[in-house]
Structure 1
Amino acid sequence: MEKALANQLDRYIYKLQEASLKLKGTRSVGEIKTKHDNSAIATKSAVDFLAYCALIQFVRRNIGSLSQPSCVALVCVPSQWLLSDIEDAAKIIFNNAKQFKICLHPTSKHKRGWEIDADELLASDKLIIFARAGSMVHEDFELAATVRDRLSLCDARHIHALSGLRGCGALTDEQVEVIARQPSERMEAIFRRGQPAKRAAERLMDAHRKSIDRPAQHLDLSKGFGEAGVWAKELKRDIQEWREGKLPWPEVDKGCLLFGPPGTGKTRFASALAAECDLHLEAASISKWQSFKDGDLGDMLKAMYQAFGAAKENAPALLFIDEFDSIGDRSKFPSQHETYSTTVVNALLECLDGIGDREGVVVLGACNHPQKIDPALLRSGRLEKHVSFPLPDAAARSEILAFHLPSLSEEPALKEIGARLPGKSGADLERLAREARRIARRENRSVTIDDVRARIKVPAPLDAATLHRVAIHEAGHAIVAHALFIGKIERVEIYDNVHRFATVMDANGLTTVEISAREFTTRWDIIKMITMHLAGAAAEDLVLGHRSNWASGTRDSDLSQATTLAIKMVTEYGFGNSLYFLPGSVDIESAVTLWEDQPLRDEVTEILQEQYQRARDMLDGLRPTLLKLADALVKEKSLDAGQLELYWPGAPKRTNVLRQ
């Protein structure tokens, strides 16, 4: 068997040599060694053998062009293969053909330019350039290329031959197909001499089956995902029309950035989106790229290009990049890491621009802090669509629980439980379902709704004094918002955790204000918003003599929102004591940054203190209204817009109508 394969390949090479010699003189491809010991090549290296066979095919397809007096061949190498592997095989093929110059093209262009001398290389009469799929190519090589081709690495015939030469047994077509998709680094592990290759192939196939059978594929993207679900529906329709030839690819969204709190299901959404649109899913993350091999710049870029290359080869595909905010912003890199980080951002920009043709590839990034991302990455043509991915609402929480507990999906109490878990992320709900299943599994029975209830921490009922404090706090927000004409107060609620529970956010009360969107803002607009945010704490201070911690403690708290607005006033809008414009100069997510900037800290403190006192003074003048509204909230627990009209300053007094 081995001898027959070796003779067959030798005859193949001999025919190539014979054809080239017929072209005579300067039209010869040069000296190609014709009698290789193919068994020895395969025994030495599985990678060398497959690359060697692919190069033989390349020579056969392009023998006429390669025999010309001058030739520049630009050869694309699949992203899962290392260029150095191709170089070794090329040395075997072109043994002593010195007129052929071999070039391994760099995978990225540095700020200082290309790390190759194109003029020197193009001085050679015959040049073969191997470039990784998906990476940029030097402009001069693009202009000079007389041959453009792509190596057919891992051809089915070559894999069968390799398995035979290494004594690895026969393979089915399905096994060959899964092996062909693997990176070059895995070939030695698959084709262990004398060991059955089908064993490794079956393991790869099992892993692939598990990946395509993920539960997330069954998620209904039209429910519980808000704006992201709407975008998914539009993308599915556009991709279907593109497949049918009704829509050109430039009309399809090139990329999207999902941003929101941790644990909201952005990764699960990506998997479900790929399944819904029938796209190949290529999953990556910034940290995964950074940890590739030794983690140096070359390895980082290699992993990045491999991800984009794999997505292109499997197009139509969805390339999901998690932790996208880890890429950073070039304007904020510390000096000791600036060169490394800037090169990474530039390389990612090149990949997103799609100079090497990104048709059929949608890039989906996910992050928690979009403000930390270089703005150039988020412009049109790159990650142009920006979709908020918030914590799930009451309906979505119930749907997520039903998804993880399908046997209880029709249980009415599941909706009630989902509604009573405000602030819980998709990951939190998945853990709750897992813990409920564990309880049932230990007792060797099916999961019940009581198992779910057993894992829920029920909020303690509020006593009369605490409930009154909550009512004072929310009444303060509502009255100041109404007095400053901030917007329409739709509802004010408090929760006693007995008859009424929080469903929107994890809080003891909530004031909902509808604020009309505006194309511009003024200093007074922002001042009013800060005053409203601080009014709850000011109301407590005014009526009860001190405030509680309800106005602070989280990123969504009253004090957090007021502080963020004050920082933007000073650094972005020029509404502070200075007119300078320094957007993004302060990392709002890091309190340490603000604490270290003494002038900014002083100015922000001044703004907050002034508006806190403004809120307190306003409420002091409206104290009877504040107390009346708070008493009504304690009694009713919830007041809508119509009911609130009776409690605003200047509202007509209610009269009792006697019924007969």
Structure 2
Amino acid sequence: MDKALTDSLERYIVKLQEAAEQLERPRTNEFRLTKRNLPAIARKSTTDFLAYCAMVALFRRNIGALSEPSCVAVIAVPSQWQLKDVHDAANIILKDKKGVKFCLHPTSKHKRGWEIDPAELLESGEKLIVFTQEGSVVHEDFELAATLFDRLAICDIRHLKALSIFRRCGTLTDAQAAVIAEQASERMEAIFRRDQPASRAAMKLLKAAKVGPGDERLLDVTKGFGQASVWAGALKNDLDQWRQGKLAWAEVDKGCLLYGPPGTGKTRFAAALAAHCGLHLEATSIPKWQSYKDGDLGDMLKAMYQAFGSAKQNAPCLLFLDEFDAIGDRAKFPSRHETYSTTVVNALLECLDGTEGREGVVVLGACNYPERIDPALLRSGRLEKHVRFPLPDALARGEILEFHLPSMVGDPALKEIAARLPGKSGADLERLARDARRLARKQNRDVDISDVRSQVQVPPPLDAKTLYRVAIHEAGHALVSHALMVGNIEWVEIYDNVESFATTVDANGGMFIERPARDFLTRWDLMKIITSDLAGAAAEDLIFGHRANWSTGNKGSDFASATTLAIRMVTEYAFGNSLYYLPGSVDMASPPKLWEDLPLRADVTEILQQQYQRAKDMLDGLKPALLKLADALVKHKRLDASQLKQYWPGSRKVALPQPQTRRRRQH
């Protein structure tokens, strides 16, 4: 049976050559193919064999054009294959043939120009074959002179099956050959090791294949992720209409940047989004491009072009670029890296612009620090949509735990635990589930809710003194925010960790306010927001003579928010003691930089001290209202907008519902 298959495959490949021989005799004979020892080529090199077969097929279908005396052929090579491999195969076919030149086209144009001279190659009048990496830009002179453009269809399934037989690697199914065809040329020797079954490597590749649209364990991207969920729903609708021919590709979002805290699950969201929209997922990252092979500029650019080329081949496709802020900003590159980094950014701009078009390819970038990205990459037509990717809410946390604990899907106790884990990222929840599974494995049983509970650190109940301090803090925020009219207060709540638990924020309490969108802001508008941010600490200082550390404990704290806004007031809005405009001059993620700029530090300190004192003075005048509101919070734990009205100075008293009938909203 194997011999019959071998003979059949050999006849097929030889037939490619015979077909060329049977065509009408061309004007020149460089491309009249002589028979080669195919098994010998296969045994010597997998890449030579596959590239050879693809080149034979290409010559056959273009024999007329290639035989013209002044032929200039531009051949696009798939991004996962090296130009050198194809060049070697072309030399095997055209060995000792005079009058033919080859050119391996550079993958990018450097700052100093092209590292190639088309005039020198074109002036001889000889036939010229230019091999270029698919997705890369071709020199304008070759574009003008070309008499033939074609793409090398490498890794045909029949060629892969023949290679497997010739190297005594057994037979392959169509599915196995198809997954091998997607691999980079560098992996072929590992897949087709002599006398080892190639099917074994193929099965490993199939098992490791990316998650498909039919996977039932994908996250639901339409809820639980804030504006990212809204965008996901809109993208799916647009893509559905585009597939039906009702919407032009120009109307679809071509790119989006997700930004937010690390560990929030942006990568898993991308996989689920691709499945939700019926897109092939091509996932990579900027650091992966930087570490490709030797990591020099050529390798970096090759990895970039390969990613975009593969996305175009598999369109409709979602190209996910993680750690996108690692690309940097051309205006901030250190001089020793400027040429390298600027070339990379320029190449990425070319890829995003898509001179050859990238219809069907949606580019999704993800990062933690969007302010570090070159602004040109975020303009219209590139990553034009910017969506903050938040920490998951209670609903999304439940889905993430179910994803990692599929045997517990639908368990209400699991959802209850998820609701009481505010501030936990997707990575945190994955670790929790992993620890729960490990505990169950040690006892040789399936995971259950007790395993999950054992991994959750339950916040201790707050004693009466601490709870009252939290109430004073939140009441201070509420009273100053209402007095300064900085927004609509939706509710204020505190958590005793006995009857009430945090579900939205990882804190002991919170004031939830909706601030109206404003086209412009005055200096006083920004000062009021800072006063509101500092009012909680000022209230504690007023009542207890000192404040606790929860106003300054993390990057999302009251003082962090106030400091960031004060820096922007000075550097971007010229609202400090100087009238200079220096946007982006301060790296917010690098606190030491703030200390180095003494004038900036002085301006920011003055703003914060003034507004802290203003908040304290305001609350001193509202002290009776402050104490009354704090007492109500201790008693009821949560007060909605309508219930807060009686506590605003000058408002009529409104009856509050009894504690036992109060309905708590779950988030």
1:183 aligns with 2:180: no
SS class of match (2:341): helix
1:433 partner amino acid: A
1:89 aligns with 2:89: yes
Where does residue 545 of structure 2 map in the other structure? 545
Where does residue 196 of structure 1 map in the other structure? 197
Where does residue 140 of structure 2 map in the other structure? 139
Alpha-carbon distance in 2 for matches of 1:123, 1:444: 76
Deviation at 1:245, TM superposition (A): 2.8
1:164 partner amino acid: I
Deviation at 1:534, TM superposition (A): 1.0
Instruction: Report the CA distance shift for 1:592/1:42 in structure 2 as closer, same or farther (over 3 A).
Output: same
Q: Which moved more, 1:578-587 or 1:631-640?
A: 631-640
Deviation at 1:184, TM superposition (A): 0.9
Where does residue 536 of structure 1 map in the other structure? 536
Instruction: Report the CA distance shift for 1:10/1:442 in structure 2 as closer, same or farther (over 3 A).
Output: closer
SS class of match (1:70): coil
1:11-60 CA-to-partner distances (Å, cap 9, x unmatched) read 8547646857x34xxx3143767253333322221111211221122222
Where does residue 469 of structure 1 map in the other structure? 469
1:563 partner amino acid: T
Instruction: Report the CA distance shift for 1:655/1:380 in structure 2 as closer, same or farther (over 3 A).
Output: closer
Alpha-carbon distance in 2 for matches of 1:15, 1:406: 56
Where does residue 236 of structure 1 map in the other structure? 236
1:432-471 CA-to-partner distances (Å, cap 9, x unmatched) read 2333333333334443333322222111111222112111
Where does residue 609 of structure 1 map in the other structure? 609
Where does residue 662 of structure 2 map in the other structure? none
Instruction: Report the CA distance shift for 1:216/1:262 in structure 2 as closer, same or farther (over 3 A).
Output: farther
Deviation at 1:249, TM superposition (A): 2.2
Instruction: Report the CA distance shift for 1:502/1:4 in structure 2 as closer, same or farther (over 3 A).
Output: closer
Where does residue 347 of structure 1 map in the other structure? 347
Alpha-carbon distance in 1 for matches of 2:188, 2:537: 65
Alpha-carbon distance in 2 for matches of 1:31, 1:397: 63
Where does residue 587 of structure 1 map in the other structure? 587
Q: TM-score, normalised by structure 2?
A: 0.92
Where does residue 329 of structure 2 map in the other structure? 329
Q: Which moved more, 1:439-448 or 1:346-355?
A: 439-448
Instruction: Report the CA distance shift for 1:404/1:67 in structure 2 as closer, same or farther (over 3 A).
Output: closer
Where does residue 207 of structure 1 map in the other structure? 208
Q: Which runs of 5+ in 2 are unaligned?
A: 657-667
1:474-530 CA-to-partner distances (Å, cap 9, x unmatched) read 111111111212122222211122221111111111112221111111111111111
Alpha-carbon distance in 1 for matches of 2:360, 2:498: 54
Where does residue 53 of structure 1 map in the other structure? 53
Paired residues for 1:570-581 under 5 Å: 570-581=570-581
Where does residue 659 of structure 2 map in the other structure? none
Where does residue 159 of structure 1 map in the other structure? 160
Matched-pair contact (CA < 8 Å) for 1:14–1:34: no
Alpha-carbon distance in 2 for matches of 1:127, 1:429: 58
Where does residue 427 of structure 1 map in the other structure? 427
1:458 aligns with 2:458: yes
Instruction: Report the CA distance shift for 1:170/1:603 in structure 2 as closer, same or farther (over 3 A).
Output: same
Alpha-carbon distance in 2 for matches of 1:301, 1:529: 45
Q: Which runs of 5+ in 1 are unaligned?
A: none
Alpha-carbon distance in 1 for matches of 2:251, 2:213: 31
Paired residues for 1:616-627 under 5 Å: 616-627=616-627
Alpha-carbon distance in 1 for matches of 2:398, 2:35: 70
1:628 aligns with 2:628: yes
Where does residue 554 of structure 2 map in the other structure? 554
The sequence identity of aligned pairs, in percent, is 68
Matched-pair contact (CA < 8 Å) for 1:216–1:268: no
1:587-628 CA-to-partner distances (Å, cap 9, x unmatched) read 111101111111111111111111111111222222222222
Paired residues for 1:21-60 under 5 Å: 22-23=25-26, 27-30=27-30, 34-60=34-60
Where does residue 357 of structure 1 map in the other structure? 357
Where does residue 251 of structure 1 map in the other structure? 251
Deviation at 1:143, TM superposition (A): 2.1
Matched-pair contact (CA < 8 Å) for 2:53–2:159: yes
Paired residues for 1:388-467 under 5 Å: 388-467=388-467
Alpha-carbon distance in 2 for matches of 1:483, 1:132: 64
Matched-pair contact (CA < 8 Å) for 2:157–2:178: yes
1:183-232 CA-to-partner distances (Å, cap 9, x unmatched) read 11112222223333333223323333x74499675322223223222222
Matched-pair contact (CA < 8 Å) for 1:401–1:418: yes
SS class of match (1:575): coil
SS class of match (1:218): coil
Alpha-carbon distance in 2 for matches of 1:641, 1:192: 71
Alpha-carbon distance in 1 for matches of 2:429, 2:569: 38
Where does residue 600 of structure 1 map in the other structure? 600
Q: Which moved more, 1:1-10 or 1:597-606?
A: 1-10
Q: Which moved more, 1:638-647 or 1:305-314?
A: 638-647
1:382 aligns with 2:382: yes
SS class of match (2:103): strand
Matched-pair contact (CA < 8 Å) for 2:31–2:67: no
1:516 aligns with 2:516: yes
Alpha-carbon distance in 2 for matches of 1:594, 1:145: 56
Alpha-carbon distance in 1 for matches of 2:46, 2:396: 51
Instruction: Report the CA distance shift for 1:626/1:192 in structure 2 as closer, same or farther (over 3 A).
Output: same
1:96 partner amino acid: D
